[in-house]
Homo-oligomer: A and B are copies of this chain.
Amino acid sequence: MFSKACEYGIRAMIYIGQQSADFGRRVGLKDIAAEIDSPEAFTAKVLQGLVRQQLVTSVKGPTGGFELTPEQLRTVTLKQIVVAIDGPDILQGCALGLPQCSAKQPCPMHFQFLPIRDQLNELLRTHTIGELAGKVHDGLAFLKR
């Protein structure tokens, strides 16, 4: 479904968001990698990209780390993260790999697949990091194991 990079990116964002929302605390790479069970250096690469796209904020030096501003917590969606890392293909590409997904020249799965893909779009579009971080805070969801 998603690439490893994307999985790590989402999990990292939710963890950063949870720490920012609950404690106003910045988190370092080592901390993140440990809490979401991901390779540290690779996760760094993924987060660097998200910082460039301003989906997350980073601060260098002692007491530095990653954080999500209240605005980012409220506005950054799963869709933005997925598109930033994996590109828009999963949101609009053909299930069977045809170069164009269209109702004019549909693949045999098109009309059955479309509603499913649309629901995925809706899921990604309507869920913010702040919302998902809340579940982790409440002990209703987990980021590893």
Residues of chain B lying within 8 A (CB to CB) of residue A132: 108-109
Classify chain A's interface size.
Answer: 35 or more
Residues of chain B lying within 8 A (CB to CB) of residue A143: 96, 98, 107-108
In the complex, residue of chain B having the shortest beta-carbon distance to the beta carbon of A106: B141
Assembly stoichiometry (copies):
2
Residues of chain B lying within 8 A (CB to CB) of residue A10: 96, 109
Within 8 A of B (CB), among A98-145: 98-100, 105-110, 112-113, 115-116, 119-120, 123, 127, 132-133, 135-136, 140-145
A30 at the interface (CB under 8 A from B): no
A11 at the interface (CB under 8 A from B): yes
Say yes or no: A98-B14 contact (C-beta < 8 A), given A113-B123, A119-B116: no
Which of A1-9, A52-60, A65-73 participates in binding chain B?
A1-9
The residue that A1 contacts in the complex, of B95, B98, B110, B133, with Cβ under 8 A, is B95
Say yes or no: A142-B105 contact (C-beta < 8 A), given A97-B7, A120-B116: yes
Distance in Å from the Cβ of A51 to the closest Cβ of chain B? 20
